[in-house]
């Protein structure tokens, strides 16, 4: 158990709909990352938040958005869903510690999204 909690574990929704994925980072971690994993693309970085502020953006579509709240949990919002958005979405977190131990990114168990 990495200590990163994600909900829901599975969800099925129709094209055009909007869903919200939720993540609680490990205790004490300030950074939250979102990744998408599909069969053909591997793990793709979407976005990072640090202590409530957006820190870095990766390959995140304009239809997707995220935020990190004062209690440090994060939500990833996916809207106008398409069949191709079906994937595993992972949240990860890392420590604010400045030494090397702060480099490690720990992943949650993921949210399976199926768009039908």
> Interface residues with another protein (CB under 8 A)?
2, 4, 42-43, 45, 48, 50, 55-56, 58, 88, 90, 100, 103-110, 112
Compare residues 80 and 103 and give the one whose CB is closer to another protein. Answer: 103
Alpha-carbon gap, residue 6 to 32, rounded angstroms: 12
Compare residues 71 and 101 and give the one whose CB is closer to another protein. Answer: 101
Compare residues 59 and 77 and give the one whose CB is closer to another protein. Answer: 59
Contact 81, 13 (CB under 8 A): yes
Contact 78, 62 (CB under 8 A): no
């Amino acid at each position: 158990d990495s200590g990163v909690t994600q909900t829901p574990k599975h969800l099925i929704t129709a094209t055009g709909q909007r869903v919200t994925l939720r993540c609680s980072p490990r205790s004490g971690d300030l950074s939250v990352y979102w990744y998408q994993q599909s069969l053909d693309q591997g793990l793709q970085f979407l976005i990072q938040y640090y202590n409530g502020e957006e820190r870095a953006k990766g390959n995140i579509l304009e239809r997707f958005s995220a935020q990190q709240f004062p209690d440090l949990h994060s939500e990833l919002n996916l809207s106008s869903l398409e069949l191709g958005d079906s994937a595993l979405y992972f949240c990860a977190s890392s420590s604010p510690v400045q030494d090397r131990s702060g480099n490690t990114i720990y992943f949650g168990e993921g949210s399976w999204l199926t768009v039908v």
